[in-house]
């Protein structure tokens, strides 16, 4: 029975790798920092269907998808997914309580966003936020209006490309400096007029993810300077895991694996003596981040 990888999930404050077997459901495995990982892609990359409310609906056509794309969905499943998406403003009637947050990824690299309160900090872990704080909580549309207010007034975006986050991840200031920048922006946000009355404001309590992401053990390791560009049939990845942030696995030799590219593949143990043999691209330097645009354990 084939198990297809579904990429990273964050369970509690630890990364797990998800797997889906049609007719058998979901399971996860938990890689550990310092562990040697080795896997090879088999067959073709398959559409994973639609994941909604903790349940997966299989792709009705069992479509295959390109190896280079960041999404393991065919166009039809992607359209269905977006029809229930808060991010795409197609689910405005969602009755749940939402929270507004500030997420910090590097000096001057801060975004504002919203997430369902029931998810806790999972959204911040999924995005690879190094430091963050809540701003407020309330109904969906109130948090959405607050997000738009802060974007316009503070000049912060609602998304930052993963390539930019990777470019600065190994060259960050220490935790007190990270917290200072988040706290200052929280103060500026709190001083703005025009917040919706139905939104409960929350005080600044900065959380830091460096230890969760394994960055405390990066001293002396090469900076992350290469990233897997595409998974291909019979292509292998081999290395020792140094940490994880967002969807990225960081290896001790400087290689980064975006697990969104693993989603939809059957991954197996490679033969003895295997080395990394998938297409790899250089990671842009921290001094010149790229322009905004839109990867067997």
Task: Give the DSSP letter string of 111-150.
Answer: EEEEEEGGGTTHHHHHHT-SEEEEEEEEEHHHHHHHHHHH
Cα distance between residue 215 and residue 218, in whole Å: 5
Cα distance between residue 249 and residue 15, in whole Å: 9
pLDDT beyond 50 at 292: no
Residue of 142, 152, 151, 141 lying closest to 89 (CA atoms): 141
Residue of 273, 262, 256, 268 lying closest to 232 (CA atoms): 262
pLDDT beyond 80 at 244: yes
Please give the share of the chain, as a percent, with pLDDT higher than 70.
92
Per residue in 107-143, pLDDT tens?
989 999 999 999 999 999 999 999 999 999 999 999 9
Per residue in 55-82, pLDDT tens?
899 999 999 999 988 899 999 999 988 8
Give the model's pLDDT for residue 89: 55
Radius of gyration of the chain (CA): 20
Predicted model pTM:
0.90
Quickly state the pLDDT bin for 283 (edges 50, 70, 90). Answer: confident
Count the neighbouring beta carbons within 10 Å of the beta carbon of residue 25: 10
Residues in Cβ contact with 3 at an 8 Å cutoff, skipping those fewer than 6 apart: 19, 20, 21, 24, 27, 266
pLDDT beyond 60 at 213: yes
- In a 3-state reduction of DSSP, which class is residue 178? helix
Of the given ranges (104-108, 153-157, 283-287), which has the lowest mean pLDDT? 283-287
Mean pLDDT computed over 196-221: 94
Residue with the bigger pLDDT between 257 and 85: it is 257
Quickly state the pLDDT bin for 92 (edges 50, 70, 90). Answer: low
């Amino acid at each position: 029975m084939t198990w297809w990888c579904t990429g990273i999930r964050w369970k509690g404050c630890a990364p797990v790798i998800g797997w889906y077997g049609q007719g058998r459901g979901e399971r996860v495995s938990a890689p550990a920092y310092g562990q040697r990982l080795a896997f090879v892609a088999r067959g073709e990359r398959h559409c994973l269907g639609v994941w909604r409310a903790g349940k997966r609906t299989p792709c009705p056509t069992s479509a295959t998808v390109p190896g280079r794309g960041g999404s393991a969905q065919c166009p039809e499943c992607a359209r269905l997914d977006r029809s229930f998406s808060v991010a795409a403003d197609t689910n405005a009637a969602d009755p749940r309580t939402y929270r507004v947050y500030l997420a910090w990824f590097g000096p001057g690299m801060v975004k504002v966003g919203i997430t369902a309160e029931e998810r806790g900090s999972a959204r911040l872990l999924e995005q690879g936020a190094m430091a963050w704080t809540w701003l407020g909580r309330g109904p969906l549309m109130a948090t959405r209006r607050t997000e738009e207010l802060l974007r316009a007034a503070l000049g912060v975006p609602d998304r930052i490309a993963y390539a930019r986050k990777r470019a600065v991840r190994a060259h960050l200031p220490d935790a007190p400096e990270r917290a200072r920048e988040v706290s200052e922006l929280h103060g500026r946000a709190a001083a703005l007029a025009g917040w919706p009355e139905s939104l409960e404001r929350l005080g600044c309590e900065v959380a830091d993810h460096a230890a969760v992401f394994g960055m405390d053990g990066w001293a002396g390791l090469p900076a992350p300077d290469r990233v897997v560009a595409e998974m291909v049939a019979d292509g292998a990845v081999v290395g020792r895991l140094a940490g994880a942030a967002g969807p990225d696995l960081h290896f001790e030799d400087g290689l980064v694996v975006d697990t969104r590219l693993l989603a939809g593949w059957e991954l197996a143990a490679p033969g003895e003596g295997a080395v990394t043999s998938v297409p790899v691209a250089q990671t842009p330097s921290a001094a010149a981040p790229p322009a905004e645009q839109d990867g067997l354990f």
